[in-house]
Chain A
Amino acid sequence: MSAVEVSGVTRRFGTVVALDDVSLEVGHGELVGLLGPNGAGKSTLLSLVSGQRRPDAGEVRLDGRDPRDPRARTTLGLTPQETGLPATLRVREVVDFVGGHYPDPVPTGELLDQFGLDDLGKRQTGSLSGGQKRRLAVALSLVGRPRVVLLDEPTTGLDVSGRAALWDAIRAYHASGGTVLLTSHYLEEVQALAERVVVIDHGTVLADDSLAAILRRVGVRRVQLTDGDGVRQEHLVADSDAFVRDLVTSGTRFSDLEIRGASLEEAFGQLVAHGNEGALR
């Protein structure tokens, strides 16, 4: 029995097809990254797995049960969106409240301590910084000692150290045997955490493979430079080395050359723009 089992699931919102016949299986103890641009269907998929929505067609199973049954959700952890914390409640109260739903919650003090929130227990959540809210959101997903955790964009908007600290917490949870399904549109985040990557766009699974295999397929680089006329240019290229070699040999004047890995969203944009949608399959 898999931790998460999605078979032939379709979900529409009016005329928009958010998920189109999607199948996905996540085994116990796996750490799977769900990648895709905004609006690809990632959050819809998570909302089906967490029982918040019902599929129009197909079946969703959480530990072999329908996630719309509250009993199935006793082993599920989920991050609330940081903007959605009840602003007037104190940090400690929110943790007590969420933990109170589970049979064997992590004691509030212990959890706050673990996430470096122990000094903030008496603060109202509305007064927390973005990073503090993120930490609280991830802490809330773990308060019930879940077997499966769904993390929706867990570190969006965090600085580098904040992100690294949360990544450590997620890795520690996974190392203790937990199953993680996380969404991100940052390639870097999925790269840092996931063993297996599922790429979705326009409601369909484009690729489902090991991290290394996926990275090879979306290995697009973004090259920025200022040309002789002082105009900033941006190129998305598959082989940045060859691009730079050509640039230099062509003798064109340029300055401020910058190369970095393109985000998956940019890679998608590039692929679609070239009428090259099949390239990821």
Chain B
Amino acid sequence: MSPVTTSPATAAASAHAEPERRTRPFWVLAWLHLRYQFLETVRIPVAVLGNLLFPSLSMFFFVVPQRTVADDPLFATVAVAGLGLFAVCSASLFTYGLGVAEDRQLPFYPFLRSLPTGPGPQMVARVLNGGIFSLFGLLPLIVIGWLFTAATVTPGQLLAGIGTILAVSVPFVLLGMAIGHALSAKAALPVVQVILFPLAFAGGLFLPPQMFPGWLDAISQATPTRAGRDLLVQATTGAEGYALALPVLVGWTVLFAVLAVLAYRRDEGRRFR
């Protein structure tokens, strides 16, 4: 082993008159966490590929072969939007529900909690990182929709659609983080599945809500998935969603944000010595 040279570089801050007692600015810390979370994610290419492949394969299996849907510009666009939203919800819930729960079991995690930063920057970075990888997943989906179905959007609608889907992913990332901080990895997996599929179905991501009976439609309109879907359909096709979609989505976002922060505060890493 090469010798550890001793130089004054690690001199204690006692040499400084009064140590600075402010953490670094919030956005500096958030950017720092975003950069390293992104690096950690792309260093495991399979995880990135999974995100890219899943929505594209679903498109080929479930939408492209059904010509009544694929050949109708409105239906095809709605189908692409619904699948895109499902992919983003599922990626957010799995990546954050399971990802956070797994991170918490690593010994590096308690170390991170001892650094001079609150939970905010790390959470913001996770949300943004989720958005970036959701975009990677959406790109092939959009290309397939364009080449193999009659789905059609104007460039303005496309941009509005991407913006909407990223905004809609926020509550699901927050819900994922709440689950990840509250549960162990083994418990997080089934909980995410139990939450995701009913939400996706009730939200009309698999079947159009026009086919729902009245009572189911009423429940559907209270779900974050339905609110997100209708906002997305409105952005990409111009078809008006229900009036309460935005308030419902904002309400769920606030609730999930509170749950995520509470779960983080309660969490003290691994619960054994």
Residues of A within 8 A of B (CB): 13, 16, 18, 28-29, 39, 41, 43-44, 47, 50-54, 70-76, 78-81, 83-86, 88-89, 93, 97-98, 100-104, 106, 110-111, 113-116, 124, 131, 135, 142, 144-147, 159, 161-162, 165-166, 168-169, 171-173, 176-179
Contact = CB atoms under 8 A, between A and B. Distances in A.
Contacts of B9: 106, 110-111, 114
B117 A70 contact: yes
Contact of B4 (A28, A145, A165, A178): A165
Given A74-B21, A89-B39, A114-B5, A176 B10 contact: yes
Interface in B81-112: 106-111
The listed residue with most B CB atoms (<10 A of its CB), out of A44, A116, A176, A178, is A176
B114 interface: yes
A100 B117 CA distance: 11
B1 interface: yes
Nearest to A167: B4
A86 B35 CA distance: 14
A97 B268 CA distance: 22
Contacts of B109: 84
Give the contact-size bracket for chain B.
35 or more
B46 interface: no
Nearest to A63: B19
B8 interface: yes
B4 A168 contact: yes
Given A74-B23, A75-B19, A168-B4, A142 B10 contact: yes
Contacts, number: 171
B5 A116 contact: yes
Contact of A103 (B7, B22, B269): B22
Nearest to A54: B268
A18 to B, nearest CB: 6
B11 interface: yes
Given A52-B269, A166-B4, A178 B12 contact: yes
Contacts of A113: 5
B4 A44 contact: no
Nearest to A111: B9
Given A88-B44, A101-B23, 18 more contacts: A41-B273, A51-B114, A70-B118, A72-B21, A73-B114, A86-B108, A97-B32, A103-B22, A114-B9, A115-B4, A165-B2, A168-B3, A168-B6, A169-B4, A169-B6, A176-B12, A177-B12, A177-B15
Contact of B3 (A74, A85, A116, A176): A116
26 contacts: A16-B273, A44-B273, A47-B110, A52-B114, A52-B269, A54-B268, A70-B117, A71-B22, A75-B21, A78-B114, A80-B108, A81-B108, A84-B109, A101-B116, A103-B20, A103-B22, A110-B9, A113-B5, A116-B5, A131-B1, A159-B1, A168-B4, A172-B6, A176-B8, A177-B14, A178-B14
